[in-house]
């Protein structure tokens, strides 16, 4: 089956193998550009061939806010670039080096850098989409919904963020029971750590997807946030992929595993339609 799911996703996400088997449409990769101080505050940019005024997707990877490297997700950058989007993949500091909200603040700093610099790479700073998987979806949602983080960087999510794309994200996960997470988030019942707490009628358009077989992040997180946004008058695009688990929403970004679920098509279609609404015909 697709070379046993590309050798178990190249032994759980190994770049460059997964990137090499994921077509990039001729994209150019710019590695490890600094958006702040320190080795974990750099980002990679995947620029589509001939990009000009292209939508920009800022993708935050998962890893329980404790692990991960942008180099492991080159296949996501390739997949997005092949669809005509400039993909920005930042690293961010993780626990135990930092605790909440420092990884969110790093995401805000990466967003500021992207807004200021992405036009040099063919991206449209007025069409920035925040996207993440798992813990990365939490960071993306916090930035899109709690305006304080971006306002601290001179941005406003209602004005400067075109959309939110969350894949298998934790948005409403209290109370915490793990001693690690209680330490990481500063307590078991802190509402200010939860994206759902900040949902308002001014929230950017949202694409929220989850697999109904996810046992790592409960699907209720997606259901609850989508319901909250709808109750506020929004129209989030909520998709439940039957039979898919937590990694079933990120594996399809690997070229030969696209058959597992239409996640890439669904995300690309949502972004294309959302960006088109804000541009003159």
DSSP string, 259-275: GG-SHHHHHHHHHHHHH
Q: Supply the pLDDT for residue 209.
A: 98
In this prediction, residue 25 has a pLDDT band, given cuts at 50, 70 and 90, of: confident
Q: Supply the pLDDT for residue 8.
A: 44
pTM, two decimal places: 0.94
Helix (H, G, I), strand (E, B) or coil at 111: helix
What count of other Cβ atoms lies within 10 Å of the Cβ of residue 67?
Answer: 12
Helix (H, G, I), strand (E, B) or coil at 256: helix
- List pLDDT tens digits, range 166-222: 999 999 999 999 999 999 999 999 999 999 999 999 999 999 999 999 999 999 999
- Report residue 196 as tokens: 């759902």
- Dist CA 81 CA 99 (whole Å): 32
Q: How many CA atoms lie within 13 A of 14 on its CB side?
A: 8
246, 200, 234, 215: CA torsion to nearest 10: 10
Q: Assess whether 119 carries a catalytic annotation.
A: no
Residue appearing with tokens 């070379």: 3
Give which of 42, 137, 58, 138 is closest to 92, Cα–Cα: 42
For 140, left (φ over 0), alpha (ψ -120 to 50), or beta? alpha
Q: Supply the pLDDT for residue 138.
A: 98
Annotated catalytic residue, options 134, 179, 202, 218: 134
The b-or-e profile of 169-190 (16+ CB within 10 A means b, else e) is bbbbbeebeeeebeebbeeeee
Taking 80 as the threshold, does the pLDDT of residue 12 lie above it?
no
Q: Supply the pLDDT for residue 278.
A: 72
Name the residue with higher pLDDT: 10 or 272.
Answer: 272
Taking 90 as the threshold, does the pLDDT of residue 265 lie above it?
yes
Q: What are phi and psi of 140, to 5 degrees?
A: -60, -40
Which CATH number describes the domain made up of 2-277? 3.40.50.1820
Cis peptide before 175 (omega within 30 of 0): yes
């Amino acid at each position: 089956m697709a070379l046993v799911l590309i050798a178990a996703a190249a032994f759980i996400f190994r770049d460059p193998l997964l990137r090499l088997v994921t077509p990039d449409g001729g994209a150019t990769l710019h590695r490890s550009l600094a958006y702040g101080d320190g080795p974990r505050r750099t980002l990679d940019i995947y620029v589509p061939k001939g990009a000009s005024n292209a939508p920009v997707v800022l993708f935050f990877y998962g890893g329980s806010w404790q692990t991960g490297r942008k180099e492991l997700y080159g296949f996501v950058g390739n997949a997005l670039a092949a669809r005509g989007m400039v993909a920005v993949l930042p690293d961010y500091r993780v626990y135990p080096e930092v605790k909440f909200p420092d990884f969110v603040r790093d995401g805000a700093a990466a967003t500021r850098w992207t807004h200021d610099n992405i036009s040099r790479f063919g991206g449209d700073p007025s069409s920035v989409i925040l996207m993440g998987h798992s813990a990365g979806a939490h960071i993306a949602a916090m930035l899109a919904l709690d305006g304080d983080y971006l306002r601290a960087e001179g941005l406003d999510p209602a004005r400067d963020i075109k959309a939110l794309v969350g894949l298998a994200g934790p948005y409403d996960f209290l109370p915490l029971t793990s001693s690690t997470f209680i330490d990481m988030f500063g307590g078991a019942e802190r509402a200010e750590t939860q994206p759902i707490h900040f949902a308002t009628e001014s929230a950017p358009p949202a694409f929220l997807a989850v697999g109904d077989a996810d046992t790592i992040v409960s699907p209720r997180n997606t259901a609850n946030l989508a319901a909250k946004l709808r109750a506020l008058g929004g129209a989030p695009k909520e998709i439940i992929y039957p039979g898919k688990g937590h990694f079933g929403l990120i594996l399809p970004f690997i070229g030969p595993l696209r058959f597992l679920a239409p996640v890439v098509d669904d995300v690309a279609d949502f972004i294309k339609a959302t960006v088109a609404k804000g541009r003159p015909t």
